[in-house]
C-alpha cells in the first residue's frame, strides 16, 4: 500500500504525485489519508497521523508519502507512530540512502521547496529502492525497535 497525506500547503503536490503514482501502480495499492480538499485552516498533524497509522499496519510493506510546506512537520508526527521510519526526502540520493540503509517506510516532502519534477524523481527512487539488509543495517534497526518498545505503547 502506498499512502499519501498532505496539509493545505502540500495538497496540490500530493495530488500531482498521487496521479503520477497511479499511472504506474494499481489503484488498489494507493490510499489517500487526506487532505481531500485544499483548506487553509487544516493542520498537518491530522493527516500525518492518519497516514502514518496506515503505514504502521504493515510497516515492512506499506509506504507513506507525505507533503507539507517544509516536510518537517509531517516527519515529526510520522515518527511518533510505532513502526514508522520517516525521513524528510530532499533529493533522489538522500532517499536512496535512507531506503537502503535505514529501511525508511515513509518520506516527507517540502512543497514550498521541491519542484514537481524533483518530487517525482524522489518518489520513484523511494518506491524502487530496496533495503540492503546488511548486518550493520539489521543491527541498527533492531536497536530502533528496542527503543520503540521501551518508549511507545
Annotated catalytic residues are 68
Q: Which run of H or of E encompasses 151?
A: helix 135-151
| Residue 33, φ and ψ in degrees, nearest 5 | -90, 10
Q: Cell numbers of 150, please?
A: 521501551
DSSP 131: P
| Residue 3, φ and ψ in degrees, nearest 5 | -110, 125
Give Cα separations from 129 to 53, 55, 59, 138 (angstroms): 22, 17, 15, 17
Amino acid at each position: 500500500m502506498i499512502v499519501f497525506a498532505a496539509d493545505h500547503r502540500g495538497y496540490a503536490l500530493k495530488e500531482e504525485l498521487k496521479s503520477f503514482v497511479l499511472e504506474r501502480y494499481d489503484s488498489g495499492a494507493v490510499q489517500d489519508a487526506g487532505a481531500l480538499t485544499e483548506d487553509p485552516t487544516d493542520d498537518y498533524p491530522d493527516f500525518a497521523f492518519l497516514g502514518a497509522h496506515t503505514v504502521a499496519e504493515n510497516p515492512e510493506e506499506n509506504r507513506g508519502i507525505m507533503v507539507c510546506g517544509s516536510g518537517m512537520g509531517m516527519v515529526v508526527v510520522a515518527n511518533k507512530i510505532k513502526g514508522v521510519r520517516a525521513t524528510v526526502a530532499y533529493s533522489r540520493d538522500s532517499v536512496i540512502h535512507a531506503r537502503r540503509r535505514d529501511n525508511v517506510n515513509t518520506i516527507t516532502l517540502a512543497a514550498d521547496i521541491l519542484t514537481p519534477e524533483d518530487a517525482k524523481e524522489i518518489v520513484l527512487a523511494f518506491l524502487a529502492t530496496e533495503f540492503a539488509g546488511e548486518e550493520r543495517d539489521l543491527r541498527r534497526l533492531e536497536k530502533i525497535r528496542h527503543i520503540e518498545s521501551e518508549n511507545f505503547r
